[in-house]
């Protein structure tokens, strides 16, 4: 695992149209306010107490915020560990699939693990699934095609369920709406996966679909250098308010009202601080984006804007669009997964 210098000291929303007819643009940078620093209490002094010198990491991160935010997630001590096999589901000619759990900063998260046949070490991929109603979600749901194809291509695959899904610990209502905890679970999934003896911890990646595309982007800005590459399919917007207005407002208006009561209505800075595009300049990994041109769930304009902003931020990014393909990615899915495997092999040098 290779971490960007800013992370050396710290090991360090439902799936997907903007309410505005125009293509969304980058959010303005949140206002900068001095971080509150507690005086050092190491030794009494006769003179005035001086605040401690900020660490290198603190000087390179956006300021802390009073509300949940990506800048706060950037400072988390990620400690993914304790990956346990609960049971063997089945074995194929190419891999064995297990139901597993792992720990994400103390929270138990479930998922499925696919281990290719052979000794290894193997490159590895964490899969971030799209939106399912948590009350009816079953472990490993949502990316069965990617699981099978990537395992057959020689990757260890860990599909994280996220907290609040399947056999994992419960999620709070706020964690469900903000998705930051899902990104934390994805980051910790990588760390837990890298501890397996048959995984090459220098060759890891993330693949996210729909809502999981947004989870992946959040993970990339929170923990740059964690993985070597990322792929997102038919992703939600990298602007939090687009997703809130397009998915949550029509389906769970009470959740939106609760957020506005708690954090205020837009344009409060909190919504910018929940948008991955605000921090795209932190991403160090190449990103491949797939999107169908007739996607009626997550508008293609969202991925076009995300890729443009990634490019403007200096991120190595590519957008592949598929004429006639919708959100389900059936007709052209095989073309896309072949390109995904080729991309991952090239970036992970396998």
Q: Please write the tens of the pLDDT for every residue from 283-332.
A: 999 999 999 999 999 999 999 999 999 999 999 999 999 999 999 999 99
In order, the DSSP letters of 282-334 are: G--S-EEEEEETT-SSS-HHHHHHHHHHHHHTT--EEEEEETT--TT--TTHH
What is the chain's percent helix, strand, coil content, to nearest 5?
35, 20, 45
Mean pLDDT of the region 232-251: 97
Contact 304, 312 (CB under 8 A): no
d(CA 182, CA 164): 9
pLDDT at 300: 98
Contact 231, 344 (CB under 8 A): yes
| 194, containing H or E segment | helix 180-194
Q: What is the DSSP code (8-state) at residue 163? A: T
- What is the overall mean pLDDT for the chain? 87
pLDDT at 57: 55
Picking from 58-67, 109-118, 210-219, 258-267, which range would have the lowest pLDDT averaged per residue? 58-67
331: number of Cβ within 10 Å: 13
63-348 homologous superfamily: Alpha/Beta hydrolase fold, catalytic domain (3.40.50.1820)
Helix, strand or coil for residue 70? helix
* pLDDT at residue 136 tops 70: yes
* pLDDT at residue 52 tops 90: no
Alpha carbon 255 to chain centroid, angstroms = 22
* pLDDT at residue 98 tops 70: yes
* pLDDT at residue 253 tops 90: yes
Q: pLDDT tier at 40 (50, 70, 90 boundaries)?
A: very low
Contact 80, 188 (CB under 8 A): yes
Domain map (residue ranges) of the chain: 63-348
pLDDT at 113: 98
Q: pLDDT tier at 68 (50, 70, 90 boundaries)?
A: very high
CA end-to-end span of the chain: 15
% of the chain exceeding 70 in pLDDT: 83
pLDDT at 13: 38
Contact 195, 156 (CB under 8 A): no
The CA–CA distances, whole Å, from 92 to 8, 47, 113, 172 equal 39, 71, 13, 37
pLDDT at 55: 52
- pTM above 0.75? yes
d(CA 13, CA 34): 30
Q: pLDDT tier at 168 (50, 70, 90 boundaries)?
A: very high
The CA–CA distances, whole Å, from 310 to 137, 230, 305 equal 32, 13, 8
d(CA 306, CA 333): 21
* pLDDT at residue 23 tops 50: no
Burial bucket for residue 105 (CB in 10 Å: 0-12, 13-18, 19+): middle
The pLDDT tens digits of the residues spanning 340-349 come to 999 999 999 9
Kindly give, in sequence order, each residue whose CB lies less than 8 Å from that of residue 342, ignoring residues fewer than 6 positions away: none
Strands 81-91 and 95-104: antiparallel
pLDDT at 58: 56
Q: Say how many CA atoms lie within 13 Å of 195 toward its Cβ.
A: 12
């Amino acid at each position: 695992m290779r971490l960007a210098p800013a992370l050396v000291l710290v090991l360090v929303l439902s799936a997907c149209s903007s309410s505005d007819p125009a293509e969304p643009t980058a959010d303005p940078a949140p206002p900068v306010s001095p971080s509150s620093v507690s005086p050092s209490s190491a030794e009494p002094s006769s003179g005035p107490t001086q605040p401690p010198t900020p660490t290198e990491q603190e000087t390179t991160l956006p300021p802390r915020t009073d509300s949940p935010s990506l800048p706060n997630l950037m400072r988390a001590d990620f400690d993914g560990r304790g990956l346990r096999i609960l049971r063997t589901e089945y074995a194929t000619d190419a891999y064995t699939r297990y139901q597993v759990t792992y720990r994400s900063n103390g929270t138990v998260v479930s998922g499925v693990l696919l281990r290719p046949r052979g000794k290894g070490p193997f490159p590895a991929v964490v899969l971030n699934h799209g939106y399912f109603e948590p009350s009816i979600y079953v472990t490993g749901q949502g990316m069965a095609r990617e699981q099978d194809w990537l395992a057959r291509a020689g990757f260890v695959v860990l599909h994280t369920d996220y907290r609040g899904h399947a056999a994992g610990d419960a999620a709070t209502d706020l964690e469900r709406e903000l998705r930051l905890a899902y990104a934390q679970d994805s980051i910790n999934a990588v760390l837990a996966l890298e501890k397996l003896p048959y995984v090459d911890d220098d060759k890891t990646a993330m693949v996210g679909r729909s809502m999981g595309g947004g989870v992946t982007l959040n993970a990339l800005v929170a923990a740059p250098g964690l993985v070597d590459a990322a792929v997102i399919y038919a992703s939600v917007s990298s602007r939090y308010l687009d997703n809130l207005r397009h998915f949550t407002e029509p389906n769970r208006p009470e959740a939106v009202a609760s957020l506005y009561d708690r954090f205020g209505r837009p344009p409060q800075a909190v919504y910018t601080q929940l948008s991955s595009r605000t921090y795209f300049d932190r991403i160090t990994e190449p990103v491949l984006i797939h999107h169908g041109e007739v996607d009626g769930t997550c508008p293609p304009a969202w991925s076009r804007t995300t890729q443009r902003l990634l490019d403007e931020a200096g991120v190595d990014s590519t957008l592949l669009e598929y004429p006639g393909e919708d959100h389900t990615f059936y007709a052209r899915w095989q073309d896309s997964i072949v390109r995904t495997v080729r991309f991952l092999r090239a970036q992970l040098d396998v």
